[in-house]
Amino acid sequence: MRKILVFDTTLRDGEQTPGVNLNAAEKVEIARSLERLGVDLIEAGFPVASPGDFAAVAEVARAVKDCSVVALARALPKDIAEAAAALRDAVSPVIHTFIATSDIHIQYKLRSTKEKVLEQAVEAVKLARNYTDRVEFSAEDATRSDPEFLRQIFAAVIAAGATTINIPDTVGYTTPGEFAQLITYLRENTPGMDQVTISVHCHNDLGLAVANSLAAIEAGATQVECTINGLGERAGNAALEEIVMALVTRGQYYQAETGINTRQIAFTSRLVSSLTGINVQPNKAIVGKNAFAHESGIHQDGMLKNRLTYEIMTPESVGLTQSRLVLGKHSGRHAFKAHLEEMGYTLTAEELERAYGRFIELADKKKEVTDRDIQALIEDETQKVEETYSLEYLHVSSGNSTVPTATVIIKHGDQLIQEASCGDGPVDAVYHAIERATGIQVYLDSWSIEATTGGKDALGEVTARIIKDGRQFTGRGSSTDIIVASAKAFLRALNRSLQVQGETEPMKE
């Protein structure tokens, strides 16, 4: 079985998903979860893009010890120097430098020539090797590039010291058979290619990112670049969970495996969804809530007789067990803390105290508290957003024959601000009241609610996305009261917008 390296770019390419804006603390939290998941490399960001991105990469580099941390850089001296500086404290740093190689990109984006691009790529790799022994080179838009030029530039950068060659399908243009042919051609005809890691990075514009990645593995690629839940630019990237479970389930066919702890997949997916505010579609492979659901009578009958009739993998294999928390309202802090650690959470004493208080409050309201409830509670309690404004009091009056009204008291520093407002519904009234109290006017781009478990006493999770000054910000809130959850989500989005004021807009690859 060949070992396939898993290069996770959720924190870099995944963050380029419209509406996603992770702060440094959130990136560290996701990185630690990826470390537990067992990925080989974590691409933490694009340090030259903004001071916030540089700080986030540096924080991840300090926090992660069991896998490599990667920083992206264009083939420019400034980018490479910034990447190296951000990775200064990394145990195993990798500089990932790239330049476009397709005719359309060279002519219209770079306004350059193939000769100059090749020279720039070689100089970038040489410079990066002055900072670290591991350098990845990517030929942006490789699948629309001249294969002969790819062969030339890859041979040159390998001679200059590149240790990984990445062949990205940047715009999701290729097909599995075509991509396999390209990988085979480059592997067999590029001097030095047998001495480096061959990586692929596939986008999902035609819905083929995972299929293309697997075809590349068949053709000899030894590293796949992917994201949790398939996040990324436009239609996203190849989904880590789908590639990994394809290799697990069809291991004998691919004769390849990864070092991923598959039982951490569901937890990591849920964490990324919570912190990014991007819900996983119900029918999403592997981690969607319907991925292991069976409604058809024929299917149900088969499942009752033998699960293998309609399940090619078990929900337990990806961590989707519906275990119930045996703790109750009489449980102590030590038992609660121990269970959180089993779930993968490490909280500070202050966070633990707040979370325990929320748990006891929840246990009083609900007949059964599940791990899904606990995960939602902890994520709500530990969201890393500075609370410039917080909710102190909320009262709503609504009905089919009354005008919905809301009264809120918002805390701002030592000041308590009370306001009231009407609206088209109770949530609309609450949001208008919060806007009046904070003095901040925003556009509500989207609002959604999801029950973490079944039952009338389910914990509701609300995601609110706002637009302020042309930028999108997302907040999440959870409560057994969906109006309270809605208020929390809206305030978190507002606070996030205030937190990033003054930061430059991150540059995109």
Q: Identify whether residues 465 and 416 lie together within a single domain.
A: yes
Q: Identify whether residues 377 and 418 lie together within a single domain.
A: no
What predicted TM-score, i.e. pTM, was given to this entire model?
0.82
Domain boundary among 342, 357, 381: 381
Asked whether residue 435 is assigned to any structural domain, the reply reads: yes
Question: How many distinct structural domains can be found in the chain?
Answer: 3
| Region 209-215 average pLDDT | 98
Find tokens 């530990």 and name the residue.
382
| Region 158-180 average pLDDT | 98
First to last CA, the chain: 34
Q: Identify whether residues 126 and 239 lie together within a single domain.
A: yes
- The one-letter code for the residue type at 481 is D
How high is the pLDDT of residue 502? 44
Q: From CA 273, how far away is CA 461, in angstroms rounded?
A: 12
Check whether 506 has a pLDDT greater than 70.
Answer: no
How high is the pLDDT of residue 98? 98
- Tokens standing for 244? 């990994």
Q: From CA 81, how far away is CA 131, in angstroms rounded?
A: 8
Q: Identify whether residues 156 and 105 lie together within a single domain.
A: yes
How high is the pLDDT of residue 20? 86
Check whether 187 has a pLDDT greater than 90.
Answer: yes
Over residues 463-484, the pLDDT tens digits come to: 898 999 888 888 888 888 999 9
Check whether 83 has a pLDDT greater than 90.
Answer: yes
| Region 184-190 average pLDDT | 98
Asked whether residue 292 is assigned to any structural domain, the reply reads: no
| Region 90-105 average pLDDT | 98
Check whether 323 has a pLDDT greater than 60.
Answer: no
How high is the pLDDT of residue 508? 44
Q: Identify whether residues 358 and 433 lie together within a single domain.
A: no
Check whether 321 has a pLDDT greater than 80.
Answer: no
Residues near 375 by Cβ (< 8 Å), separated by ≥ 6?
Answer: 267, 270, 343, 452
Check whether 55 has a pLDDT greater than 90.
Answer: yes
**Confidence bin at 305 (pLDDT 50/70/90):** low
Count CB-CB contacts under 10 A for residue 280.
Answer: 20
Over residues 222-237, the pLDDT tens digits come to: 999 999 999 999 999 9
> Are the C-beta atoms of 86 and 40 separated by less than 8 Å?
no
Q: Percent of the chain having pLDDT more than 90? A: 67
- 11-25, 288-302, 304-318: range with lowest mean pLDDT: 288-302
| Mean pLDDT, the chain, integer | 90
CATH number at residue 422: 3.30.160.270
DSSP codes, 80-112: HHHHHHHTTT-SSEEEEEEEE-SHHIIIIIS--
CATH number at residue 23: 3.20.20.70
- 298-307, 357-366, 384-393: range with lowest mean pLDDT: 298-307
Find tokens 């694009």 and name the residue.
46
- Tokens standing for 332? 């102590």
Q: From CA 240, how far away is CA 72, in angstroms rounded?
A: 19
> Are the C-beta atoms of 192 and 155 separated by less than 8 Å?
yes
Residues near 461 by Cβ (< 8 Å), separated by ≥ 6?
Answer: 274, 376, 380, 449, 450, 451, 452, 476, 477, 478, 485
Asked whether residue 322 is assigned to any structural domain, the reply reads: no
**Confidence bin at 487 (pLDDT 50/70/90):** very high
Asked whether residue 324 is assigned to any structural domain, the reply reads: no
Q: Identify whether residues 357 and 222 lie together within a single domain.
A: no
Q: Identify whether residues 373 and 414 lie together within a single domain.
A: no
Asked whether residue 56 is assigned to any structural domain, the reply reads: yes
Asked whether residue 315 is assigned to any structural domain, the reply reads: no
> Are the C-beta atoms of 339 and 266 separated by less than 8 Å?
no
Residues near 415 by Cβ (< 8 Å), separated by ≥ 6?
Answer: none
Q: Identify whether residues 44 and 173 lie together within a single domain.
A: yes
Check whether 296 has a pLDDT greater than 80.
Answer: no
> Are the C-beta atoms of 24 and 57 separated by less than 8 Å?
no
> Are the C-beta atoms of 228 and 240 separated by less than 8 Å?
yes
Domain boundary among 316, 346, 381: 381
Q: Identify whether residues 143 and 14 lie together within a single domain.
A: yes
Asked whether residue 312 is assigned to any structural domain, the reply reads: no
Domain holding 395, by residue range, is 390-499
Q: Identify whether residues 253 and 127 lie together within a single domain.
A: yes
| Region 360-386 average pLDDT | 74
Q: Identify whether residues 86 and 171 lie together within a single domain.
A: yes
| Region 326-343 average pLDDT | 74
Asked whether residue 308 is assigned to any structural domain, the reply reads: no
Domain boundary among 260, 276, 292: 276
DSSP β-ladder status, 460-468 and 443-451: antiparallel
Distances (CA, A) of 160 to 22, 95, 183, 198, 335: 35, 14, 21, 16, 55
Check whether 19 has a pLDDT greater than 70.
Answer: yes
Q: From CA 212, how far away is CA 249, in angstroms rounded?
A: 17
Q: Identify whether residues 362 and 472 lie together within a single domain.
A: no
443 backbone dihedrals φ, ψ, rounded to 5°: -105, 125
| Region 274-281 average pLDDT | 88
